Every structure is written in structure tokens, then in C-alpha cells.
Amino acid sequence: MPTHNDEVILCRCEGITLGQVRAAVQQLQPTSLRELKLVTRLGMGMCQGRVCRPIIQSVGQAMFQDRSETRLAYQIPTRPVSFGDFVKADDDYE
Amino acid sequence: MAVEVAVVGAGPAGLAAAGELGAAGFRVALIDEYPIPGGRLLGQRYHWKNLVWDGKQQAETLVDNVRQWHEVRWLLQRSVYDLERAPSGWALSLNPGDPSVVYAQAVVVATGATEVPIPLVNWTLPGVLAVGAAQVMTAVYGVAPGRRGVVVGANPLSFAIAEELLEAGVKLAGIVMAPGSENVDVVGSLDDQWQRIVGLRGGGAWPLRTLGRYMTHAWVRQFLMSHAPKSGVPIRGVRLRPNVVATAVEGTERVTGIRLARIADHDESIREGWSEPVDFVCVSGGLRPVPDLFRIARVKTAWVPELSGEVPVISPWGETSQTGLFAVGNAIGVESALVAIAQGHLGAHGVTRYLRGQSLDYRLAEPDQHRIQLAREQSPIAFHPKIGQGVEHLRALFLESLGAP
Ligand SMILES: Cc1cc2nc3c(=O)[nH]c(=O)nc-3n(C[C@H](O)[C@H](O)[C@H](O)COP(=O)(O)OP(=O)(O)OC[C@H]3O[C@@H](n4cnc5c(N)ncnc54)[C@H](O)[C@@H]3O)c2cc1C
């Protein structure tokens, strides 16, 4: 079903298109989904993958035969947090 | 703040668990990031066995039950963004703070599932939304997402929500299929998509089940689906268009149309393309459990396709590989609200035994497990035709983990 073209946006926060991903793969030759993420900022925006993770995982499978759907890490904070709250939580921590 | 149990998520699973724990006399913190408790129940409304399944009302009943227990503290509009071991059990970080940390001897994670998006050309235009967002707008807030829309992606949720939209007086150009390509393949080939809706119970999709007996044969399915008329086949008022694929959203300032293509029978290549006017587009790639808090807490997880994604390996009492951390509801596999409620009860019973130092022998969970199975059979909607296999797989992984240190 060849219906996606280069202009389709995969990561909405960072505005990364399929064309940019293909170009990065050709020019920089990342060897894993994690490396692709680091060179393109795919999935590294405000949502931290909460919207685009399934899309990015499917790219990883197709481009790197990365069959492990669980490979990409989850990081804290899992939701956007203001610095003020972050510091306060640290103070309150026993 | 220190409590005996923290319940994360006030959807049907978390509410059911908090109600049982309140009744057992525990000090409970019930945390949800949304201002209104009820989770995804709030938007559910469809016909079922000559009745109307009214999720909002179901949620109110569950909420009233929890409200009678004064030892349950409600912490709404707060997200849990970290979950760590603490000397007394677990520490949960909340945002916004106040309290910024909740200490709990045991935790029930009932954080539900999230929607899978479908990337389309121009899908960042205003007027493109997730099908669940259209459900919340229509059923919770009484706001129509537009006058005439289209649903991209066919799955049980698409049918249930399309029916809700039609009932609210919104027009639909039907449910069309999601595109794929060699590099991005979120929902699979056309036949993968067809297989997922054939033989399913639920929402408006029941005629597919009647036909479904024959459609489990690949050639019957592929013949019928690829020869359906371009305008689709009506399924309880919703037009399913199994051989039409969305290729792009059209518009400059906002959505004005959808670009569609007919797929050739033999090789799924494009045969013809055309545009239809719509003012909103719902993308519907299905649901996935959200494993973030489990992964942060270093819980053992597994990818189980029949449960729709990555789920924690749990004991028949709902306990994860980390002691005192329990999981219930859609977070352990996408199923209907009735199943989530039954799982909430089971999790609460597990936590009660854990806190009272009683046996968590898995054979003792049989009666509760039986109630979950009954709920599964009675549910108005099933999200995967082989849920039972997924549940068995998860149980096998648990038994395997008992052997390993
Ligand atoms: C868009 C959508 C539509 C659905 N439609 C139907 C339908 O029509 N029929 C049907 O039977 N099922 C439907 N489902 C499945 C539905 O998820 C279940 O029916 C049921 O609601 C699951 O209950 P739950 O309590 O496990 O999770 P949910 O109802 O999803 O509740 C989870 C709650 O946890 C909260 N939460 C999540 N993470 C955090 C966090 N980190 N911190 C604080 N709070 C958090 C959320 O705000 C939410 O209130 C739908 C699911 C979705 C996502």
C-alpha cells in the first residue's frame, strides 16, 4: 500500500517528516531507532512520545528490523512539570 | 501525605478499586489528572441489547459509591509523573504539587489506555482529531466536532464512536481505511485491518460477526472486502468502506476535504483517487495500554498483541513483579469498561490481602477471576477477537516468572 509520501509529518511536536527521516538515514546512517531519534529529534518534543510513540516504533521496525516494540525507554518526569514543582517535590521528599 | 493505598486513575477500574478499599476501611488517595472522575466511561453511549449503555451514568454510580467512604481522599487534576520505592512502600510524585509526594504502602495503577494515531499528509491542520477526542467533545461536552466528517481507520472503537456521532446529528462520509507504506506501518496492511474487525462483537459492528464466520477464510474476506461498493456497506447506519484508503487531508487554514483512493483487488495498489468534502477528520488507530509508570518502576512487562500492547506481567491477584504494586483495567490490556470494573475489584482484594499479610496464593483468586471472565463474556464491546489467548499468555509468563529468581 504505497500511499505515504515524504511530506507526511511523523512527529508533530518537532515537525519531523518522513522525508527528513529518510534523508537522515541516508546521510548519517544511524544503526538503531535510538540513534535515529538522536539525529532527528523524532519523539523528543513536548509530548515526549505520548502521541507519536506507535508511529516511531513502526518506523523502527521497518527501517532497522527492530522487532522489539518495547525498546525505547520511558523517562521521568512522564508528564511536563514546572521547575518550581520539581524543586518543591525534592524538598518534600523524605 | 501518607496513606495505606494510592490508586492512580479514577476511571472505572480505579473507582471500583477505591470503592472496595474504602469499604475495607483503608486510608486511600485516589489520584486522577482529569478534573472529572470516570475516565473513558464519560464519553460512552450506545445501543446495546435494546438498552442504552450510558457510561456517564455508570461513572456517577461508581463515584457515589466511593464518596461514601471518608477515608478516601480525592486528588483530582494532578498527574503522577514518577513512582519510586520508598522505605514505607512507594513514593508517588504529583504535578501540580500540594501534596507533591504521596507515600503509600501499596499502589494500584489504573491509568488506562491511549489512542494510536495515524499519520496523514496535512494531519496537523485544525479539524483533524483523534476519534476519542470527537467522542469526548460530542458525548461529554455536547459540542459537535463539525458538520460532516470521516473516520480514518476501522476498529471496534471507530464503529462505536461513529454511531455516537451519527446519533448526535453529525454526518459522516463513512469509515475508510488507514494508509501504510514501507517505512511507516502503524496499523498494518488492508487485510490486517480487515481481520481486526471481522468476527468482532461490539459497537455497531455486529453484522460483521454474522458474516464473520465466513470471513475468517482469507479468500472469502479478501473477495468480499475488495469488491464492496465504493460508497461502502451500511453497518447500522455507518458506512464501512473497506477498499477505500485515505491518502491526505485537504485544506489550507483548516480541513476542507479528504483525499481518498480505491485500492486494486490483487495487489493493494492505488487504482483511482478523488476528493470528498468534509470539515473534520477523525484518526482512529486503535488503543494501546500505557506502560510508562510500570517501566519507570522497573516492573517486568511483555508485548501481548491480543491485549493491544505492552502490559505488566501480573499475578492472578493483579500484583506486578514489584511487591505492593498492583495493576488493573486497560493498563493491563484493552477491554471493555465492564471488565475494567471487575479487575478493579480483584485488585482491591489483592491489595487487602497484601496489607493484612494474608496469602496471595493464586488459586484463591479463582472466584474473582471467574467474575472477570463473566464480565468479558457479557461486554457490549470486545477490542480483540482473541483476548482469551492474550490472557492465557500473560498467565503463562507469570507462572514462568515464579520459577525464575
Ligand atoms: C478514547 C477511548 C474511547 C473508548 N471507548 C470505549 C467504548 O466506547 N466502550 C468501551 O467499552 N470501552 C471504550 N474504551 C475502553 C475504555 O478504556 C474502557 O472501557 C475503560 O474506560 C477502561 O477503564 P480504566 O479505568 O482502565 O481506564 P480509563 O477509563 O482510561 O481511566 C484511566 C484514568 O487514569 C487517569 N490517568 C492516566 N494516567 C495518569 C497519571 N499518570 N496520573 C494521573 N491520572 C492518570 C486518566 O485521566 C483516566 O481518568 C475507550 C477507550 C478510549 C481511550
Please, which pLDDT band fits residue B2 given cuts at 50, 70 and 90?
very high
State the pLDDT at residue B203. Answer: 45
**B185–A5 CB contact, under 8 Å:** no
Pairwise pLDDT comparison (A92 vs A41), residue with the higher score: A41
Pairwise pLDDT comparison (B378 vs B270), residue with the higher score: B378
State the pLDDT at residue B267. Answer: 59
Q: Determine if residue B325 is left, alpha or beta; phi over 0 gives left, psi from -120 to 50 gives alpha, anything else beta.
A: beta
Q: Determine if residue B203 is left, alpha or beta; phi over 0 gives left, psi from -120 to 50 gives alpha, anything else beta.
A: left
A40-80 pLDDT, tens digit each: 999 999 999 999 999 998 888 888 876 665 568 899 999 98
B172: nearest Cα among B238, B226, B242: B238
B10-65 pLDDT, tens digit each: 999 999 999 999 999 999 999 999 999 999 999 998 777 677 889 999 999 999 99
B156 has pLDDT over 90: no
State the pLDDT at residue B47. Answer: 74
State the pLDDT at residue B204. Answer: 45
State the pLDDT at residue B234. Answer: 86
**A82–B119 CB contact, under 8 Å:** no
State the pLDDT at residue A2. Answer: 52
The identity of residue B23, as a single letter, is A
Count helices and strands (H / E) in chain B. Answer: 11, 21
Mean pLDDT within A12-30: 94
**B101–A92 CB contact, under 8 Å:** yes
Of the candidate ranges A71-80, A81-90, B59-68, B77-86, the one whose mean pLDDT is the lowest: A81-90
Please, which pLDDT band fits residue B282 given cuts at 50, 70 and 90?
very high
B355-365 pLDDT, tens digit each: 999 999 989 99
Mean pLDDT within B387-405: 88
Going by C-beta distance under 8 Å and a sequence separation of 6 or more, which residues neighbour residue B153?
Answer: B118, B131, B175, B177, B178, B187, B193, B283, B284, B285, B286
Mutation choice for A interface testing from B184, B265, B300, B310 by most A CBs within 10 A: B184
Distance B248 CA to ligand 1 centre (A): 29
Distance B113 CA to ligand 1 centre (A): 6
Please, which pLDDT band fits residue B268 given cuts at 50, 70 and 90?
low
Q: Nine-digit cell at B366?
A: 479463582
Residue B385 dihedral angles phi and psi, to the nearest 5°: -65, -20
Of the candidate ranges A12-16, B50-54, B94-98, the one whose mean pLDDT is the lowest: B50-54
For A85, the closest of B97, B181, B309 (CB atoms) is B97
Q: Share the mean pLDDT of chain B.
A: 91
Ligand 1 mutation target, pool B34, B36, B63, B111, most atoms within 8 A of CB: B111
Q: Nine-digit cell at A36?
A: 535515529
Pairwise pLDDT comparison (B350 vs A90), residue with the higher score: B350
Q: Share the mean pLDDT of chain A.
A: 86
Going by C-beta distance under 8 Å and a sequence separation of 6 or more, which residues neighbour residue B90?
Answer: B6, B83, B84, B103, B104, B105, B106, B107, B297, B324, B325
B350 has pLDDT over 50: yes
Closest residue on chain B to A79 (Cα): B81
B191 has pLDDT over 90: no
For A54, the closest of B33, B285, B303 (CB atoms) is B285
| Global confidence as pTM | 0.94
Q: Nine-digit cell at A93?
A: 521528599
Mean pLDDT within B164-184: 90
Distance B41 CA to ligand 1 centre (A): 7
Mean pLDDT within B176-191: 84
B109-149 pLDDT, tens digit each: 999 999 999 999 999 999 999 999 999 999 989 999 999 99
**B81–A82 CB contact, under 8 Å:** no
The identity of residue B200, as a single letter, is L
Mutation choice for A interface testing from B111, B283, B292 by most A CBs within 10 A: B292
Pairwise pLDDT comparison (B302 vs B224), residue with the higher score: B302
Q: Which residues of A touch B182 (CB under 8 A)?
A: 2, 62
Size of interface A-B (CB pairs under 8 A): 126
What is the position in ligand 1's atom list of the atom closest to the CA of B38? 49
With a pLDDT cut of 90, the percent of chain B lying above it is: 72
Distance B172 CA to ligand 1 centre (A): 25
The protein residue with its alpha carbon nearest to ligand 1, atom 2, reads B132
B292-322 pLDDT, tens digit each: 999 999 999 999 999 999 999 999 999 999 9
Contact A3, B181 (CB under 8 A): yes
A52: nearest Cα among B393, B294, B124, B162: B124
